[in-house]
Each structure stands twice: as structure tokens, then as C-alpha cells.
């Protein structure tokens, strides 16, 4: 797997939407490729921040019939 493949799959990887084989290839690549690793860390930070904001937003509660 090359850098381009890894970067294309990073968001799916963060969402847990890749096969075990693919995940292992990504992890192996990240372990040996500093540029992709920092890209991964930047995306993962953003994703976590967005998820936290969605959790805190009272307009996005999962119960549609509340009230
Ligand atoms: Zn790379």
C-alpha cells in the first residue's frame, strides 16, 4: 500500500469501515511513514473534535420524539 492509498482510506479507517487486512496494512504503513502518520493524527483529532461537538449539541439528540 502506498501513501496515496493510505490517505484515501484514512477516514474510513477512523470510522472502522475497513477490513482487518486493510486496517493492518494501514497500521503497518503508518508505523513506517512519518508524513502519513501526522496526516492520520491531524484527521483523527478533527474527527474526535467533531464527534464531541455533536455529542454536546442539544439540537442533535438521538430521540426525535422528545418532549
Ligand atoms: Zn505514507
Q: Which CATH number characterizes residue 23's domain?
A: 1.10.10
Q: For the chain, first and last CA: distance in Å? A: 50
| Domains: count for the chain | 1
pTM of the model: 0.73
3-class SS letters over the chain: CCHHHHHHHHHHHHCCCCCHHHHHHHHHHHHHCHHHHHHHHHHHHHHHHHHHHHHHCHHHCCCCCCC
51 is a domain residue: yes
| C-alpha 48 – ligand 1 centre gap (Å) | 22
Residue 39: domain span: 3-58
Tens of each residue's pLDDT in the chain, 67 residues: 999 999 999 989 998 999 999 999 999 999 999 999 999 999 999 988 988 888 877 666 666 665 6
Do the domain assignments include residue 50?
A: yes
Give 50 Cα–ligand 1 centroid separation in angstroms.
25
pLDDT for the residue 15: 87
- Ligand 1 centroid vs 52 CA: distance in angstroms? 28
In whole angstroms, give the CA distance from residue 10 to residue 47.
11
Amino acid at each position: 500500500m502506498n501513501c496515496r492509498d493510505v490517505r484515501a482510506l484514512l477516514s474510513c479507517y477512523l470510522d472502522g469501515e475497513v477490513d482487518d487486512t486493510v486496517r493492518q496494512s494501514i497500521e503497518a504503513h503508518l508505523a513506517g511513514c512519518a508524513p502519513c502518520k501526522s496526516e492520520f493524527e491531524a484527521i483523527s483529532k478533527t474527527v474526535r473534535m467533531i464527534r464531541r461537538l455533536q455529542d454536546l449539541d442539544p439540537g442533535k439528540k438521538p430521540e426525535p420524539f422528545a418532549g
